Chain A
């Protein structure tokens, strides 16, 4: 394939990358190239066989593979060029992309790039659980791939650490496939994922949920034989004397996701320590001109629909850049204030509209979420597990007085 003369190159063909490539084509880019490491398009969607996808994007309740298929068909219908089984080795600050596949090593320089590499799971190494290195400890996503794609059951008696959505969904999946899930162990005082999953994945299958508990040790030489579980105090430290032993042959970890930004870093893209993803403006342009980012590579979303939507914004920005239309105008920083963990985008350049995502630090009832004096809304409850999406219009931004350089995004206690 001739790689010279590409307008927009999209890195990664999951829910974000596919949506970005489609939108880039729709927005008028001549040549759009989608680069994917796997042998087919779709990314993690193929292993997410459960439903709950597309409720916002399509207004339908789809499974992961069904959601993927809608985008895959459109990618091919529109004539997006695809480069499968291809790994991107490097993106330079000048947007020179180095790729490798069976055909060898190639380099090219597209007019604009959209980063859509998604995220990775945190592993045992990042938690530092003491004990040996027996077989039987998996991340929830790896177990999901084994069960749903490869047809292998990772074990028969399972403990799951972390009550994020993937962990709870795997609790149900393993129960249905005949494994026994001893418990889901959560260090926080509340469940990490959606309430729907707590009810339909745990309660439906009588799986105990141990809040304010954690795994403090793993046992076993060749294969996992059990774990020690202890209660934690308000600083999340295990309380001595509360340890109990749980027999199990498998431990699944569902303990958070990290945006995958090795390539971004080497391209010189500045990252936000709060999100783990690039610092971007409202077009999702990073600090490297012509390099855009969307989906979980930017910040971890709760819903795949939002990954696709955000990547479309990045694609629109990329097409504008490729056509030589630059965003000029004043620059305003968005800063997280009271009970706000992060805000994306981190800055606004020029005019609106602006689609903004934020996540709170702590669960709180009866609050008003406020974006400076531009926007505010009352919420009966805000939770770290439920991202908040805010749309600021062109008109909203026009109301901003001259000379404002910073807007605080915060939760205030509603009167």
Chain B
């Protein structure tokens, strides 16, 4: 059995939870959370931590140098660095509208990269 420490980000309390985890990675016990929702969050954060990635990509043929982008939904945390390497090679070409897909299936996550603002030419 091992232990994992996870801080809940659900509210200003910031409970420091301790998870007892079996050798197979099954969560056996959660202590230190002060609410039910927090317990659900820390277990999910232990099993599969995900984040929305927001960044910028370079543009080509626009008067603005950068286009702000986001992933259309959260991606696994450990994929963030790899995704940034992919983004470094992307060139966004106008015209693009906010919400339009800039790149499909970012780093094999099945999640798209979308523009968060209009890109003028």
Interface residues of A (CB under 8 A from B): 46, 49-51, 61, 63-66, 68-69, 147-151, 176-177, 194-196, 198-200, 203-204, 380-381, 383, 385-386
List the 8 closest A-B pairs by CB distance, nearest first: A65-B117, A195-B14, A49-B68, A196-B9, A151-B65, A63-B116, A65-B116, A386-B12
Contact with A along B65-77 (1 / 0, CB 8 A): 1101010000001
User: B55 at the A/B interface (Cβ < 8 Å)?
Assistant: yes
A147 and B68 CA atoms in complex are apart in Å by: 11
* B84 close to chain A: CB less than 8 A: yes
Instruction: Give every chain A residue within 8 A of B56 (Cβ-Cβ).
Output: 49, 147-148, 151
Q: Give the size range of B's interface with the partner.
A: 20 to 34
A195 to B55 CA separation, bound complex (whole angstroms):
21
Q: How far is the CA of A149 from the CA of B59 in the complex (A)?
A: 12
CB <8 Å contact, B9 and A195: yes
Asked if residues B55 and A176 are in contact (CB atoms below 8 Å), the reply is: yes
B106 within 8 A of A: no
**Cβ–Cβ contact A61 & B55, under 8 A:** no
Interface residue? B28 (CB, 8 A)? no
Q: List 13 A-B contacts (CB under 8 A).
A: A46-B68, A50-B54, A148-B66, A149-B64, A151-B66, A176-B81, A177-B84, A194-B12, A195-B7, A195-B12, A195-B14, A196-B9, A380-B13
Q: Helix, strand, loop or mixed for chain A's interface? A: helix
Whether A380 and B98, one on each chain, are in contact in the complex, defined by CB atoms closer than 8 angstroms, is no
Q: What residue of chain B has the Cβ atom nearest to residue A173's Cβ?
A: B55
* B30 interface residue per 8 A CB criterion: no
- In the bound complex, what is the Cα–Cα distance between A78 and B18 (angstroms)? 52
A49 and B7: CB pair below 8 A? no
Interface set of B (CB-CB < 8 Å, partner A): 7-9, 12-14, 34, 51-52, 54-56, 58, 64-66, 68, 70, 77, 80-81, 84, 98, 116-118
A69 to B98, CA, bound (A): 9
Cα–Cα, bound, A314→B24 (Å): 58
A385 to B14, CA, bound (A): 13
Question: Does the CB pair B51–A381 fall under 8 Å?
Answer: no
Q: Give Cα A149–Cα B54 distance, bound, in whole angstroms.
A: 13
Name the residue on A nearest B68 (C-beta).
Answer: A49
Interface pair A63/B70, CB less than 8 Å apart: yes
Given the interface pairs A148-B56, A380-B13, the reply to whether A199 lies near B117 with Cβ below 8 Å is no
Q: What are the residues of chain A within 8 A of B68 when measuring CB–CB?
A: 46, 49, 63-65, 148
Q: A149-B66, A177-B84, A203-B7 given. 13 additional CB < 8 A pairs?
A: A49-B116, A63-B116, A65-B98, A68-B117, A69-B117, A149-B64, A150-B66, A151-B56, A176-B81, A194-B9, A194-B12, A198-B14, A380-B34
